[in-house]
Structure 1
Amino acid sequence: MEMSERLRGQGEEAALQEAIRTADRELTRHPVFGDSKRISALVLERYKFGLELFAERLPAVAALLPRLTEGGDARARRLYRDPLVRKVMEAAFKKLEQGALAAPQTELEELLALAAEALERTDVDGPCEARMSRRFRVGPRQDIWVWNFAHAEDPILRELREGFDRVYSSRGTRPGRIIQPEEEQVARLDRACSLLTRVLPEVGPSALGHISSICLLEVEVEGGKMMSASGGDGIPSTVFMSPEQLRNPWDAAGHLLHEGLHLKLFDVVRAHTLVAPHSGPLEIPWRNIPWSMVRAVFAFHVYAHIELYRAAADLADPVLLREFGEPGSYTDNRHAMSVSRNNRSVPYGLSVERTRFLGKHLRTTWAPWLTPEGLHLTRWLQQCMAPFVDWDA
């Protein structure tokens, strides 16, 4: 039995609430893995430096440099929140490392020209948001924009879709259908963001801060319909979510937490290496296909935080329950990440079982494939989550 269950059973909810507040705080304080302001600042400096390096080699980028850099960090943050700007920058970094960055670089140069135009506006952050037919924003700072393309053949949309297909084609994904959002769906997204930040006042905003855009998408993946996904390197800083998941605000908030944490760790690994090269495939008992070591680390990072979200949701105050309903009142399909309905009838149908499995193997069998920083991450997460997960069970 987890300590959180023992405390609840003994009526010591005050102690459990304090444990939740402590973990919520500690998970956002670590200078490498938790502090989103520091993580984002390192990413920003990396892109700013990269742009200067690209300008030294590409005359077209050099010509755009004054328009892209004037306005300091405030303008830079707008520029580098754009998914496609980040995508083409990462591709240019790879070419630079390979000694292959030479003019012309058409995709990079054309997109940065569009970015310079978008930055002249005050109502959008970058070239992708500038192409939206309607402007929808959600989140505590209203800085997460929702995909809403007027034309199915828009070149920006085509590039974004191709990025998604490249990321998920290896997982048996079929072509998906991008949903043009309705106002009610956008309002539900915003409510889910609000719920997340009220349940976890530190971790919630931290995870959401790494999301720049959300796409509503219907797509088949391994095991059925996709509930949510992060764009990863294919479409950086972007979350995909099935509209069906918006019916339950508690699970919608959990999906945003889940994918925002993935994007946060993607930002971490821009500057830090967690997994040793040439690690082998891993057998995961609740999956039909092997995982990479990287995927296991990313999954554990999320599952550990989800246990905190679950504990906090279980003790939600009456105001939240009146506003959003009881988590258990929703009749959605059972899944391990749900705070409403877990599938207890199957092995590893509970998220805590998956959390323990990953945590155990990351500190034992799989530990040789972690770098010192990777080991530090997993041990830090286990320490933070000790009140909620019995690691020796």
Structure 2
Amino acid sequence: MNSPSLWKSGAFRRVGFAFAFYSFCSWMLVAALPLLVAQRFGTGAELVGSLALRLAPRIMFAPVAAGLIRRAGPHTAVGTGLIVTALCLVVVAAVEHAGTLQIMVLIIGLADTVVVPGLLALRAAVVPAGRNMEANTAFQTIDRLAKIFGPPAAGLVLTIASPALAFPALAIGHLLAAIALGWGNVAAGQKRLTPDPAHTTGLFRVAAATLRENPILLALVLPALGYMISLGALQPFLFWLNHDQFGLGPSMWTVLLAAQGAGAVLGALVSNCLARTLIGTPSLLTAYLVASLLEGVTTLGLVFAPSHALATTTLIIGGIPEMVAFAAYFTIIQQRLSLERQAVFYALSLPLMDLFMVAGVLTGMLHSAGWMTFQQFWFVASAGAILPVLPFLVWRPRVKTTLEDLSPDAESKIAEKSMAGGWRDGHR
């Protein structure tokens, strides 16, 4: 029997539309900001710095943001962050001083610190029971469609119009996301996050307990951290690949960004087919690790691409397993952790992800400062995506046995106990 469409749920639809507006504008900003910096201040340290500054606040203030989300609720926190970002984008359109621009980028990064985990919490809350893989694939498809059309749209707008028009347009998009999300209460029947006034130390205790009880999280997080190094390095790499190796104009860089998103849309078809068979956690873990390895090896091949067209094709191919890995990653987390523990997991794992992504962006300095050749830089960055996966492919059978001994019902009871205060008080 066919299941009803996910989009028939009002809560899912509201979060989905908000996520679509935000993702589209976010990917436009990924492309537009370097183009603006390159146009006004050059393509050296200023370019790398602007990419890193947007991520830095998410590393430093993520636990604080998690506390705000849990006290104010994700709806209010995300809506406020979207409005703050919109105001900053209006200012970015008019700045002529590099320092002022970096301050605005920093504030946008602070807003992202609330918006990103808040949207993840809202996404988890509107996923119907038993349809995690399907719902996660839908959200990742939205993000990858935004990656396809967002960067070229940003390049087109900046080519035919001035930043004074492009960045206010991005601001309007963020306001539309806030409007789509709405400010009302959680819909009837929708899963809720339990308010918890725990301090930061409480978050760390719950996270430590979660890791002890769910060793599979290490097999998810450690390869993901390596992937974030490669992903961070990919942004300056593609910019230089387009400009230095292929000798093309800056706007063609946006095509390379979009190509990986196009591959992910194809990957969504694969992921939806796999959703019917990838039900248990062990099979999802296998899919996650194999897909992560395939994506890392494929993107490594970019360094050998002789033309822009072949690089675009390589990115499309690499985007297919990337989608499968993302969907499996979020599905495993939703299967193994309660909503409350998911909030703690994201609060502490997202800054780590951002830290490693910033490290990946900063590896671009190895090339821009002349310490490594273009090819050497990319080999080092790509190793981050490939090497951490290998030991877990060997360790996977042991993880399978451990997981079979830990039922979801048992984990849910442990989660309820921990969030009631047991772990915060230091008692098991």
* TM over 0.5, shorter chain: no
Q: Larger % of strand: which?
A: 1
Higher relative contact order (CA closer than 8 Å, sequence separation 6+): 2
